[in-house]
Amino acid sequence: MVVYKHLLSALLLATNAAAGRGGIQKRQNDAPTTTWNGATYSCKCYNSDDCWPEQSAWDELNTAVDGNLVANAPAGAPCYQNHGANVEATYNQQECQEAVQGYGVAEWVDDQPATLMWPFYSNTTCEPAQNAQGTCTLGFLPEYVVMAKTAEHVQAGVQFAAEHNLRLVIRNTGHDFMGRSTGYGSLAINTHALNSIEFTSSYDGPGDWTGGAVTLGSGVQHSQLYPAANQLDPPVVVVGGECPTVGIAGGFIQGGGHGPLAGYHGLGSDQALEFKVVTADGDLTTANAEENPDLFWALKGGGPSTFGVLTSVTIKTHPEMTCTGMSVNITGYDETFWTGVADFHNMANHFTEAGMYVWFALMNGNLNIQPVVGPNMTEQEFTQVVQPFLDKLDQDGVQYQHEIREFSNFYDLWYNMFSKTNNVGDQQSLVGGRLFVAEDIEQHGDEIVDAIREVIGAGSGGFGGFGGGGAAASAAVMGGHVVNPGHAIPQEDYSATHPAWRRAATANLYIVSAEPGMSWEERKEIEDMVTNTLGQKLRDASPNSASYINEGDVNEPNWQETYWGDNYPRLLEIKQTWDPNGVFYAKSTPGTEDWEVIEYGTRLCKKQ
Ligand SMILES: Cc1cc2nc3c(=O)[nH]c(=O)nc-3n(C[C@H](O)[C@H](O)[C@H](O)COP(=O)(O)OP(=O)(O)OC[C@H]3O[C@@H](n4cnc5c(N)ncnc54)[C@H](O)[C@@H]3O)c2cc1C
Ligand SMILES: *[C@@H]1O[C@H](CO)[C@@H](O)[C@H](O)[C@H]1NC(C)=O
Ligand SMILES: *[C@@H]1O[C@H](CO)[C@@H](O)[C@H](O)[C@H]1NC(C)=O
Ligand SMILES: *[C@@H]1O[C@H](CO)[C@@H](O)[C@H](O)[C@H]1NC(C)=O
């Protein structure tokens, strides 16, 4: 019965529409229409429209969410004497100082209702600064935020947005590189407080997994889950990411999710056993191998904010194990530096064949490879694998320092070698990325490194303190990962992620600095450079490769193919089944072809 529930609700909605009452029909009539660049659009409701909810309706929503609805104010609001019509005046020097200090701290940013780690996408119209000048406005940040404490609060938020035809945004930690946790004039649902963690030693739900599992509220972050898994008796490990403050069961798992153990146990999304998700009709739905298997598959990497709001996820746990890590630094401003970069990048397939994982940060003159992770490897086993790489560097006369450390468990490796990396807010930049597959490294390895070199240029971008956000809009830093989840789980449709993940070698992102307060034309210029100049160099050098939906370019051309490959048609069908009216929207995700943010980054509308 439950399996066919969505068919049934589609039928009911169709019946309602035919009878001319309630549901979709009414919402479509309410949608304001407009023309823009010669096309006709039907739009979501915004606060200047007649269809925007009355104050009494917002009050009702606030009651339904037990008083957890907040009128949003940007982080910098207490710093401004002048506040725009949609931001309550809150000038307060003490609070301003806290905001100025907190803005660069990931944990502080996460705790705010809607502040972004990558502020470009807020339109930076109210940045925290002592003695700030000008007027604080919301820019592209949400108008209201449901600070959800329960799944019922999430349901109330989704129902309200659907009923009133509002733009709905889901915001967990605000880490999104691509601006997908914000939206002009929207109602946001903040899932940060859904942080329950419950372990079981033997999973007995649907599917063939009988090992350990853990059920996570969708707000749980790595800094909570990794220690909890380690403190269990016996300790376990999970496939998460590197960064302590990324959320596991929000954007990470719905985008695919790679991390230190992905070469050994598969992608983050491959770990999912069951989702609880609030779907577009406001129902709290279960998706697993037996109940709604289509939705289950799609939620495993089919796109963030696309099929529903996750409220919890059950994922596999695995036994703890000895892990070894290595740090390597290559420095220098001559050609040998780039020889070293090529020696490293061309070695990716060798590392992934051993199930290893690597994070590296590259700018001109400095390659910081830290760490190389060897899951379930002693120092001796690890050294055998990495020795050919070190030998090659020696042979080529490359200057480097390196250090190898064995840890008795994964948690200690993560804590010592990852947990302090890149965990910062106020990243005034935008990103693009490319996922290189094994075949391209084999056939075009040197061309790829040449393309990377061109993308990095003079290298004065910013990421976690690497060079720290210079003004030059033409320079980038690259962060990357050596990872192949296909080493652990080779089946191409195991999850909805791009099949190229099963042949992955490195997943890289490049970071380009942006200035706060750029005009629309300047924004378009820098986006164009990210997509068409820098991105094109990487595409040209890797004809068989793809991109990673969480670490890519939001304006990627042919995004359907580049982010999902052959899995796209099935995802589109599932999106049309579960969210036919577009309650959920994030740019460049399945089913958003007709949707567009028009009028200089503001109204979300559907082409007629
Ligand atoms: C410092 C840093 C380190 C990173 N490290 C890694 C890494 O090691 N591995 C990796 O794979 N990725 C990594 N990422 C990328 C990361 O996976 C994505 O940014 C991811 O989208 C973040 O998810 P979030 O829920 O924490 O963030 P948010 O910005 O809050 O949300 C991201 C997206 O997911 C949607 N979303 C959030 N919660 C839900 C929900 N409950 N239901 C439905 N949709 C939801 C949002 O609407 C948005 O589209 C990193 C990013 C940063 C900034
Ligand atoms: C976005 O920022 C630009 C530049 O400051 C400004 O002209 C524009 O009005 C802003 N738009 C919104 C909706 O804040
Ligand atoms: C680690 O590897 C050994 C074989 O070398 C294997 O027996 C063991 O199961 C592995 N441990 C884990 C947790 O995968
Ligand atoms: C490499 O550089 C980083 C950053 O400066 C440093 O933390 C690390 O210890 C260095 N590693 C080695 C092996 O020197």
Residue-wise pLDDT for 85-144, tens only, equals 999 999 999 999 999 999 999 999 999 999 999 999 999 999 999 989 999 999 999 999
Domain end residue (candidates: 190, 209, 235): 190
Q: How confident is the model at residue 14 (pLDDT cuts 50, 70, 90)?
A: very low
Q: What percent of the chain has pLDDT over 70?
A: 92
Provide, rounded to the nearest whole percent, the portion of the chain with pLDDT above 90.
89
Which residue CA neighbors atom 3 of ligand 2 most closely? 519
For the chain, the domain total comes to: 3
- Are residues 239 and 371 part of one domain? no
List ligand 4's pocket residues with C-beta within 6 A.
327, 329, 368, 401-403
Instruction: Give CA–CA dist 274/287, Å, rounded.
Output: 6
In the numeric block, the tokens 């703890």 are attached to 320
Going by alpha carbons, the residue nearest to atom 5 of ligand 4 is 368
Nearest-atom index, ligand 4, CA of 328: 13
Q: How far is the centre of ligand 3, averaged over its atoms, from the C-alpha of 454 (Å)?
A: 42
pLDDT tens digits for range 444-497: 999 999 999 999 984 444 443 333 333 344 457 899 999 999 999 999 999 999
Which of residues 303, 319, 335 is at a domain's end?
Answer: 319
Asked whether 222 and 181 are in contact (CB, 8 A), the reply is no
CA angle 227, 229, 234 (to 5 degrees): 125
The tens digit of pLDDT for each residue in 142-170 reads: 999 999 999 999 999 999 999 999 999 99
Query: Which residues, 6 or more positions from 530, have their beta carbon under 8 angstroms from its beta carbon?
Result: 430, 431, 432, 510, 512, 553, 555
Return the bridge partners of 596, or none: 605
Domain shared by 308 and 275, yes or no: yes
Ligand 2 geometric centre to CA of 184 (Å): 11
Residues 438 and 506 in one domain: yes
Whether 99 and 220 map to the same domain: the answer is no
Q: Is 602 near ligand 2, meaning CB less than 6 Å away?
A: yes
Where residue 420 falls among pLDDT bands split at 50, 70, 90?
confident
**Domain hosting residue 383, numbered range:** 322-408+419-557
The two three-digit tokens of residue 540, written as one number: 């040209």
Is-contact 313 274, C-beta < 8 A?
yes
89 Cα: distance to centroid of ligand 2 (angstroms): 19
376 lines ligand 3 (CB under 6 A): yes
Q: Is residue 113 part of a domain?
A: yes
Q: Which of 599, 600, 603 has most ligand 2 atoms within 8 Å of CB, for mutation?
A: 600
- For residue 602, which atom of ligand 2 is closest to its CA? 13
Considering the domain architecture, whether residues 176 and 223 belong to the same structural domain is answered as: no
Is there a domain that residue 449 lies in? yes
Residues 369 and 513 in one domain: yes
Residue 378 Cβ inside 6 Å of ligand 3? The answer reads no
Ligand located closest to 597 CA:
2
Determine contact, residues 547/562, Cβ cutoff 8 Å: yes
Residues 80 and 132 in one domain: yes
Q: 462 with 328, same domain?
A: yes
For 475, which DSSP code?
A: -
CA dist 408 and 326 (Å) reads 15
pLDDT digits (tens, 9 = 90+) for 202-213: 999 999 999 999
Domain end (from 267, 290, 319): 319
Give the C-alpha separation, 428 to 516, whole Å: 7
